[in-house]
């Protein structure tokens, strides 16, 4: 069964959570993009691609793994 695609709002929420946890600079560094691009995603002027969404999920997974107690 294929994975469910996230809605634009769900993508935005994931990005907002990542920024809250890691900060915009770390999100940009982790995705190898500019902070301006991350801001454009947040504003909705540029769509967060499926590839970047998967990279963002991976980045958050690595953060969670490194912060296990």
Q: Does residue 29 or residue 4 have the better pLDDT? A: 29
Q: How many C-beta atoms surround the C-beta of residue 56 within 10 A?
A: 22
Pick the CATH number of 8-63 from 1.10.287, 1.10.260, 1.10.3470, 3.30.70: 1.10.260
Does position 3 have pLDDT exceeding 70, yes or no? no
Nearest Cα residue to 54 out of 29, 31, 20, 24: 31
Q: Where are the domains of the chain?
A: 8-63
Q: What does the pLDDT read at residue 1?
A: 47
pLDDT tens string 30-59? 999 999 999 999 998 999 988 999 999 999
Dist CA 42 CA 11 (whole Å) = 9
């Amino acid at each position: 069964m294929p994975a469910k695609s996230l809605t634009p709002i769900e993508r935005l929420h994931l990005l907002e959570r990542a920024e809250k946890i890691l900060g915009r600079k770390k999100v940009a560094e982790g995705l190898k993009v500019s902070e301006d691009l991350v801001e454009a995603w947040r504003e909705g002027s540029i769509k967060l691609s499926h590839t970047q969404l998967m990279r963002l999920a991976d980045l958050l997974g690595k953060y969670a793994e490194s912060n296990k107690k």
